[in-house]
Amino acid sequence: MSTVKQAKVLTKGQRRRAQILGVIMLLLSVAVVWLFIPNAAGQATFGLSTPDEAIQLDPLVVPATGSLWFLAAVLAFLGGTQFFRGFQSKATIFLGVALLIFVAALLVWATAGKDFSLIGMLSSTIARCVPIALGALAGILCERSGVINIAIEGMLLGGAFVGVVVGSLVGGIGGLLAATASGAVLAWFLAFFAIRYRVDQIIVGIVINIFVLGLTSFLTAQVLVSRPDLNDAPILTAWQIPILGDIPIIGPTFFNQTWFVYATFILVALIAFGLFRTRWGLRTRSVGENPKAADTVGINVNRTRYIAVTLGGLVGGFAGAWFTIGTVGRFDENMTGGRGFIALAAMIFARWNPIGALAAATVFGFSDSLQQKLAVLQVPIPSEFLAMAPYLVTIVVVAGLVGRARAPAADGQPYVKE
């Protein structure tokens, strides 16, 4: 008996979405041909080693014009295939690959006739993804238990301020611990009003963000300006892991970083294991999905949520310390620059999964690092547009790549014991 495999028939809405994605890819191809190729000449040189590495790799040298024509042809092929065939189930993969190809074309165009350290950008990408990944973890811990955490931005900003002040007084480790504790305090306020008094969780989060922004701005103007010694914390420098740090490309990218990077990898692994492989994780996820059912089997819903939100605050405060103790050693007003909201987008993109959150944060960290490197290369793009890059990527990823993401069923719903 023979079976005939029938082709999946797309609905009108699916066909329209597939055609829109195909048009976007074709427009990216046109942009490469129209904007990049006429202004590219010579060769693009990408450095694959840093000067202090024991093993030096030869730089990657590619012809700028030929590479751009090839990349434009690949984009056109992907766009045409998506437009006419409409691979609905693989549309997200197609779009992601197309965006990566366009970024590659952008780098070739910007580097034409110049030298560019590819390893430096990759290392910067990993470093810059830290606050976004940790912020996403803070959100995941809260929302897996059923509490919406819009206050990630406030936790980051508060941790950055407390970390630099305490760090200036007692040292970097003390500042790091104080920043972590400040995140827990803010998380407790979120949990107290959201769980105990059942105040709208989004409103509570927004209030915390506004409060922390106003308080840190006021204290910066009134205290740190007159007392610069309180705004001069030591920076936790990079530490190269022996042997692993000597591996070409991988070593300087992953194993010659600050403790914030290593702690991020450890926290992602621990939280992923805790949420999906332990009794605590099962209880936390159960109160986020069906608190009534969890209550009937003896789980204290509110206590479980308090614990999860407080843990999320600890992670958020720790992430905030990266902006000061982990980078520049000083605090500036609103220096987090909306990274907490980008962390929310990373959490949604990852579908509330810690490992996916790290991957999503790497995408946003790459866009942040890319705009910095393009500014160094002095490309003819206004600096304002370059500064918009991380936020544009956030919009594109959430709107075009996420699709339909299901939050925990009881997310944002207060529980009243009957």
Which domains are seen in the chain, by residue range? 12-113 (no CATH), 124-401 (1.10.3470)
Could you write out the DSSP letters of every residue in 18-62?
Answer: HHHHHHHHHHHHHHIIIIIGGG--SEEEEE-S-TT-SSPPPPEEE
Assigned token pair, 260: 């914030």
| Sign (positive or negative) of CA dihedral 76, 366, 56, 107 | positive
- The pTM (predicted TM-score) of the whole model is 0.91
What is the chain's length?
A: 418
SS3 call for 375: helix
Q: How far apart are CA 211 and CA 214, in angstroms?
A: 5
In this predicted structure, what is the pLDDT of residue 303?
A: 96
Cβ-contact 153, 341 below 8 angstroms: yes
Q: What is the pLDDT along the chain (418 residues), one digit of tens a residue?
A: 444 444 456 577 667 777 888 898 999 999 999 999 998 888 999 998 887 777 888 899 999 999 999 999 999 999 998 888 776 656 667 777 888 899 999 999 999 988 888 998 999 999 999 999 999 999 999 999 999 999 999 999 999 999 999 999 999 999 999 999 999 999 999 999 999 999 999 999 999 999 999 999 999 999 999 999 999 999 988 999 998 888 989 999 999 999 999 999 999 999 999 999 999 999 999 999 999 999 999 999 999 999 999 999 999 999 999 999 999 999 999 999 899 999 999 999 889 999 999 998 998 899 888 888 888 888 888 877 777 877 877 777 776 555 567 889 999 999 887 7
Assigned token pair, 276: 């999906």
Cβ-contact 321, 159 below 8 angstroms: yes
Would residue 247 be called left, alpha or beta, if left means φ above 0 and alpha means ψ between -120 and 50 degrees? beta
Q: What share of the chain is helix, strand, coil (3-state, %, to 5)?
A: 70, 5, 25
Q: How far apart are CA 218 and CA 333, in angstroms?
A: 9
